[in-house]
Amino acid sequence: MQEFDTIWQEVLEKLKLIVSSVTYTLWIETIKPVAIDENGNFVISAPSSLAKTQILRNFLDKITECTSEVVGQDNVNFVVLDQNEEAEFVKKLAKAEQVSVEKEEKSPFDPAFTFDNFVVGKSNQFVYTAAQAVAQTPGSSFNPLFIYGNSGLGKTHLLHAIGNYVKQYSPELKIRYVTCEQFTNAYISSLLSPAKNKSIMEFRDIYRNLDILMVDDIQFLSKGKEIQEEFFHTINELASAGKQIVISSDRHPNEISKLEDRLRTRFVSGLIHDIAKPDLETRVAILRKKNQLEKYYISDEVIYYIAEQVDSNVRELIGKLHGVYLLQKIKGKKISIEDVQENFASQKEDMKNDLTPEKIISVVCDYFNISYDDITGKKKNKEVVEPRMIAIYLIDDLLSLPLKNIGGIFGGRDHTTIMHSRDKITSDLKVNKKAQTLINEIKSTLSVN
């Protein structure tokens, strides 16, 4: 394990490379980390109010950038204190009761997410059955159970359904559900605690003495070697003791960039299965069930139309149903298929008008879990080049901007480079079904299908 002192030293080494030696000696070298506050902010002490002002005004972005690289988080923030404020902070920290990691990380299961109200179809039947088996006999089979698929298809619902089932039928079992971000933040909090060694032990006592650990959105573990090492030892110890692990992700482990091989090996030692997009029959069933539960009284004809128009994910499907119900309330009468068709066409046109190159790039970055700077920058590794070409293709396809302008967006690239990227993806789409699915999924997120 890498201790916090070592982490901070790495941050300083990175800062030396991006600030002048005078700046480093005068300002950077004089600050020191203190703790982490209740909002998850890193607390840094400056020797004076003048130093604090200079840090906040001139160097905070650089410090944040370097710390993000070292700890593997993009949402690192800082609170800078002068000496007087630091004394007050430490005093307040000493008086406050130590809040355990368990309390901070408590994530209750949503009672609305159960096996009974999960609509089963061809696209999710296998994963649904596996999740039930895990809930009924934890640790006996499918360990770890790794569920992957695009956002809004029911992964989180199944994790909560497992939790609710276990709480009802096996309340003596220790079960914990966290997002990957919560796990990461809890670990970093233990490193930054004034009572560091004690906090790390508390963290491990909580996570390594469970009967069932469920982690949502594990794809965000792709940064930070220290976090990956801690997570590996956690699930390795649990699995060795016959305890159940359930993990969800928006992609297969082999497609998570920068994931250590030993974690991939551990994941594939269990059951890995995807949740696909629901077919028309399942989408209709989902809408009918929601229509009945919410007492919307929307006609079957309209339900079929919504199901035909939205095939991306369950979340968007239900969102459209809510929108149709709102339109029905506004009109004050039972809504017709013509009303819905007109409303959908208007929404689609509005979304296309709001589309910008920046929005397209951001959606592609989210899809591939890479940064905006990487995709528009000079990096040439495979994890960045393919998403960059896809973003270029989409901007050309959806916005029809001049190639020179697109090149300017991507770091001043020549128009021939932009043309090559566009033509490469266009060619792939003619023969590669996986590429077709990928582009359609991104377009669906942009609401331009």
Sign of the Cα torsion 232, 234, 238, 240 reads positive
Please indicate, yes or no, if residue 367 is contained in any of the structural domains.
Answer: yes
C-alpha–C-alpha distance, residues 171 and 16, integer Å: 53
- pLDDT on residue 5: 65
Q: Which token pair is 442? A: 């991104």
Whether 143 and 239 map to the same domain: the answer is yes
Q: What is the pLDDT of residues 69-81, one digit of tens each?
A: 776 655 556 677 7
- pLDDT on residue 52: 83
Q: What is the pLDDT of residues 326-382, one digit of tens each?
A: 888 888 878 888 888 887 777 666 556 678 999 999 999 988 888 898 899 988 888
> What beta strand segments (E) does 276-332 contain?
none
Whether 200 and 293 map to the same domain: the answer is no
Residue 55: CATH number of its domain: 3.30.300.180
377 C-beta neighbours (distance < 10 Å), count: 13
If pLDDT is split at 50, 70 and 90, which confidence band does 273 have? very high
C-alpha–C-alpha distance, residues 293 and 320, integer Å: 16
In DSSP terms, 213 is beta-bridged to 176, 245
Please indicate, yes or no, if residue 258 is contained in any of the structural domains.
Answer: yes
Contacts of 49 (CB under 8 A, 6+ apart): 82, 84
- pLDDT on residue 375: 93
- pLDDT on residue 407: 93
Can you give the length of the chain in residues? Answer: 449
Contacts of 380 (CB under 8 A, 6+ apart): none
- Count how many domains the chain has: 4
Coil, strand or helix at 42: strand
Whether 137 and 193 map to the same domain: the answer is yes
C-alpha–C-alpha distance, residues 256 and 217, integer Å: 11
Please indicate, yes or no, if residue 109 is contained in any of the structural domains.
Answer: no
Give the whole-number percent of the chain exceeding pLDDT 70: 87
Residue 439: CATH number of its domain: 1.10.1750.10
Whether 176 and 258 map to the same domain: the answer is yes
Structural domain ending residue among the three candidates 313, 334, 350:
350
Whether 252 and 289 map to the same domain: the answer is no
Are 388 and 421 contacting, i.e. CB atoms less than 8 angstroms apart?
yes
Contacts made by residues 95-103, CB under 8 angstroms, sequence distance 24+: 98/195, 99/38, 100/202, 100/206, 101/186, 101/189, 101/190, 101/199, 101/202, 101/203, 101/206, 102/202, 102/206
Q: What is the pLDDT of residues 305-335, one digit of tens each?
A: 899 888 777 888 888 888 888 888 888 878 8
C-alpha–C-alpha distance, residues 276 and 107, integer Å: 27
Closest C-alpha to 181, from 109, 135, 231, 145: 231
Please indicate, yes or no, if residue 110 is contained in any of the structural domains.
Answer: no
C-alpha–C-alpha distance, residues 104 and 92, integer Å: 18
Please indicate, yes or no, if residue 111 is contained in any of the structural domains.
Answer: no
Whether 339 and 284 map to the same domain: the answer is yes
Query: What's the CA dihedral at 175, 215, 203, 220 to 10 degrees?
Result: -170
What domain range is 333 assigned to? 280-350
Choice between 394 and 293, residue whose per-residue pLDDT is larger: 394
Whether 135 and 268 map to the same domain: the answer is yes
